[in-house]
Chains A and B, each alone.
Chain A
């Protein structure tokens, strides 16, 4: 056999090569999209926290004082039905604002930085991992479960900016049996076709989730605040100052009623 003659691939091998390229490309795209989604989600969560602590908490206080004012007026005018009703409404508003505020899981201040700003390094690492261990590339149910859990851990580490943990996960993965891919052309082809279609499905879900997040009021506000920041304005502080002055006025009113 003349070794100079180029080896001619069988049709199966050609097909396999094409699928390999397609899979590589979609894996890359998926990793990018996963990164986009998790970054967006964390950005909004950080912003939400900041908003609640800088502004939301003040609405709770403001509504509470207003409820106290209305209650005091109602007590002074027991015969006046309108005042009684106003007092009930004000109390309900104050309670529901407080309830909404406390329904958010408020992390301890020191555990949360003001903004979510992942470094390029951690983003790169995330992409690497997402490409390799994504559950949509898993070969069986068991592997899929394992990889889902691992991805959740990856997302958590990313959210916490824990670059060491990410490195560790990647290392562990590379030495685990799950990272070894099955042998044989036929099984490879089937596996790859299935992976590609799973990835496509996941991409659609990601797009939907991104869209949903972008439609939230929280995201809308975040964009507004970020844009203002670029122009040197701190909208959240401005808003907090405004509510503070409203609170001050309300407090004076309440004291005047005593």
Chain B
């Protein structure tokens, strides 16, 4: 009986000892390898996520070609943005889609996000300016057109639109100056509007 007890005690001791803190190369190594595993996994997951975002974006472009699948295009862009919140091009396209269906607030949000991600892309400023125009916020529109002109000084369209915004605000002299510049750069509408405003004077 004493032997049994001794054996039992030893067994309990042996079992406990393997659970007690002791330098274990095999276990600590496993723990650090597990941590590395997660880092690698995260990298792969990241890549996979960005690829998926790109796929949704391409789907969006395809759907965007036809008016009847326009809402599907918007959904696809939204999925792309969910997967990659820094997907500038997806904000641009979605912003443009919102603008096309007259949802200006949403369009402004997307353009603003795109501009935040890539501040020196002239077309975003022109498009946001157009959206502000749509909301009759001409001051804001002028700011954006000015930025677009700064980025691309030979953009006749940007001058024309800025001239039109000035005209709508009643600032004829600035309107004339911008229409003239647009006309000089080869914009026919600019020339026409220049003549019209000059005649009104």
Whether A238 lies near B25 (C-beta < 8 A) is: no
Other-chain contact of B21, A55, A59, A97, A216 (Cβ < 8 Å) = A216
Complex Cα gap A41–B15 (Å):
8
For window 200-217 of chain A, which residues contact chain B by CB distance below 8 Å? 209, 212-213, 215-217
Which secondary structure dominates where chain B touches chain A? Answer: helix
Whether B25 lies near A212 (C-beta < 8 A) is: no
- What's the count of A-B pairs with C-beta under 8 Å? 80
Whether B27 lies near A217 (C-beta < 8 A) is: yes
Q: List 8 A-B contacts (CB under 8 A).
A: A45-B15, A45-B18, A56-B27, A105-B14, A212-B21, A221-B31, A224-B31, A238-B37
Complex Cα gap A55–B29 (Å):
10
List residues of chain B with CB under 8 Å of any chain A CB.
1, 4-5, 8-9, 11-12, 14-16, 18-21, 24-31, 33-34, 37, 41
Whether B19 lies near A218 (C-beta < 8 A) is: yes
Complex Cα gap A105–B11 (Å):
11
Whether B19 lies near A239 (C-beta < 8 A) is: no
B18: chain A residues at CB < 8 Å are 45, 48, 104-105
Other-chain contact of A221, B1, B8, B34 (Cβ < 8 Å) = B34
Complex Cα gap A149–B16 (Å):
17
List of 10 A-B pairs having minimum Cβ-Cβ separation, nearest first: A152-B8, A217-B27, A56-B26, A213-B19, A59-B26, A149-B5, A100-B26, A55-B30, A44-B19, A221-B31
Distance in angstroms from B93 CB to nearest chain A CB is 34
Q: Which of B20, B24, B26 has the most CB of A within 10 A?
A: B26
